[in-house]
Amino acid sequence: MDHSAPVLEIDSLRTWFLTARGIGKAVDGVDLSLSGGETLGVVGESGSGKTMLSLSVLGLVPRPGRIVGGAVRFKGLDLVRASAAELLKVRGNAISMIFQEPMTSLNPVFRVGEQIAEAVRLHRKLGKAEALERARQMLVKVGIPNPDRRLKSYPHEMSGGMRQRVVIAMALALDPDLILADEPTTALDVTIQAEILELMLQLKEERQTAIMLITHDLGVVAQTCQRVAVMYAGKIVEEAPVLALFDEPLHPYTKLLLASVPRIGERRPLAAIGGAVPSLMALPSGCAFHPRCPDAVGFCATEEPALLAMPDGRKVRCLLHTART
């Protein structure tokens, strides 16, 4: 695989919910790309569109939502327009997804080994014994003790951290080119969280897998990502290399997100972002963030900002930056 070429290219993607109460623009004109061996963090508050973005990539948008425009190209194949057979080959094979809650991915009535082996058999056409051996190797890889015994365990017989390791083992069993990880460590304690993040980074380095990490935890982003995209109300409002974003955030929303994170050694009150993420059915006019923005001026309420490419390659969606350039 050419790791310099984009594995994933998202172009003007729009995923809307068409309901009796109106149109909810969960993802509204998102452009992103991701190369092999790169980890891209997608951050924002709950309701900003992060999870719907990841579900859109695999065509798993729940009803009444649907993709109404744009393209999602995975190694050249547009997944939005792909056939059911083409999607079946890609899902769980070349692209794997890790959900926040392991029990979303694990069937409670089947043993763990059977579930990992089933995915391997489906895509690799291996026999039952070979697939179970592959499952055992993956449990070893993700650091699960007594793998032979755990192959025969049911999900409810394992701790939350161990179940999440099983989900990661399942995601990696087919050596995917892309992993979509939606809050993969949120429900875990800090020690297990650190171990799983280290495991994901290690496996990424070994396989040059691309990872899109959906999270609200900026500490996790700083530890694991090369680039960050900040989402608000279905749009990307800032995109930058991770160090640049932490050193000098450009968008007022990004600044407030970073100010709300506690820092070791600093004794200061944490900033709070006033108000709430707007309803996708009733977005404000102009810039969607202007009712909560401490820097908003008159035209922010009437003019909708475009995503502006800055001279250093960063991108920001803010009229104040447009006015300065």
174-214 pLDDT, tens digit per residue, is 889 999 999 887 767 788 778 878 888 887 888 889 999 99
For residue 64, is pLDDT > 50? Answer: yes
Chain length of the chain: 325
Percent of the chain with pLDDT over 90: 60
The answer to whether the CB of 179 falls within 8 A of the CB of 207 is no
How far is it, in rounded angstroms, from Cα 113 to Cα 153?
A: 8
How far is it, in rounded angstroms, from Cα 120 to Cα 9?
A: 27
The answer to whether the CB of 161 falls within 8 A of the CB of 197 is no
Q: Kindly report the CATH number that applies to the domain delimited by 6-94+174-264+272-324.
A: 3.40.50.300
- The CA radius of gyration of the chain, in Å to the nearest whole number, is 21
* Sheet-wide strand order for 178-182: 95-98, 178-182, 210-214, 39-43, 227-232, 235-241, 315-316, 308-309
> 31: buried, middle or exposed (CB in 10 Å: 19+, 13-18, 0-12)?
middle
Using CA atoms, how far residue 96 sits from 150, 175, 200, in Å, is 22, 9, 13
The answer to whether the CB of 24 falls within 8 A of the CB of 17 is yes
For residue 325, is pLDDT > 50? Answer: no
DSSP annotation of 254: H
> 319: buried, middle or exposed (CB in 10 Å: 19+, 13-18, 0-12)?
buried
pLDDT in tens, 288-312: 999 999 999 999 999 999 999 998 8
How far is it, in rounded angstroms, from Cα 318 to Cα 300?
A: 9
pLDDT of res. 124 = 84
How far is it, in rounded angstroms, from Cα 214 to Cα 182?
A: 5
For residue 2, is pLDDT > 60? Answer: no
Mean pLDDT lowest among 13-17, 48-52, 189-193: 189-193
In this structure, are strands 315-316 and 308-309 parallel, antiparallel, or unpaired? antiparallel
pLDDT of res. 266 = 66
pLDDT in tens, 106-160: 999 999 999 999 988 888 888 999 999 999 999 998 889 999 999 999 999 998 8
pLDDT in tens, 72-95: 999 999 999 999 999 988 988 899
Task: Please provide the average confidence, as pLDDT, over all residues in the chain.
Answer: 89
Query: Domain extents for the chain?
Result: 6-94+174-264+272-324
pLDDT of res. 272 = 76
Residue 79: CB atoms within 10 Å: 21
pLDDT in tens, 238-283: 999 999 999 999 999 999 999 887 666 666 676 778 888 888 888 9
The answer to whether the CB of 68 falls within 8 A of the CB of 9 is no
Alpha-carbon dihedral angle through residues 88, 54, 59, 131, given to the nearest 10 degrees: 20
Using CA atoms, how far residue 206 sits from 60, 133, 252, in Å, is 28, 20, 37
